Amino acid sequence: MGEPIVTAQKLRFCDTDKLGHINNAVYAEMFEAGRVEMLVPLGLLGGPHAVVIARLEIDFLHEMNWPGEVTIETWVARVGTKSLHMRQRLLVVGQETARSRSVLAVIDVQTRRAVPLTDGWREVLMQWYVADDNVS
């Protein structure tokens, strides 16, 4: 069992909306930034394979405000045959502001069809495996 991968992003003024808080669409961008940190070591951001989102759920818990920094925690909850289930959290000064559940599929870029995850990908992914019941 591993640990979540942790990254950080600055909250930007241009991410605010008319109410003065970070727009809800930006939460999805922050979650994407966390997923990218995990996909780079797998080599899935170029070449013959890519990753697409099959499902994305976001629970909005608290607003985020500019200026500030958001911490993004990303972990693997399940590795299927052709899919990867991820969980993520956004935290600002230690307060959880949102959580996400997503399902990703690895595809062949040429055929646009899902392909089985290789043993090499599985090995790398397991370093970030955290059972859902072990996350607060």
Q: Please state the domain count of the chain.
A: 1
pLDDT of 54 above 80: yes
Q: Which residue has the higher pLDDT, 136 or 115?
A: 115
Model confidence pLDDT, tens digit, residues 99-134:
999 999 999 999 999 999 999 999 989 999 988 755
pLDDT of 49 above 70: yes
pLDDT score for 2: 77
pLDDT of 52 above 90: yes
Q: CA-CA distance, 125 to 136, in Å (whole number)?
A: 21
Q: CA-CA distance, 123 to 12, in Å (whole number)?
A: 36
Q: How far is CA 43 from the centre of its chain?
A: 16
Q: CA-CA distance, 101 to 120, in Å (whole number)?
A: 24
Among residues of the chain, what percentage have pLDDT more than 70? 96
Residue-number span of the structural domain to which 23 is assigned: 5-134
Give me the CATH number covering residue 24: 3.10.129.10
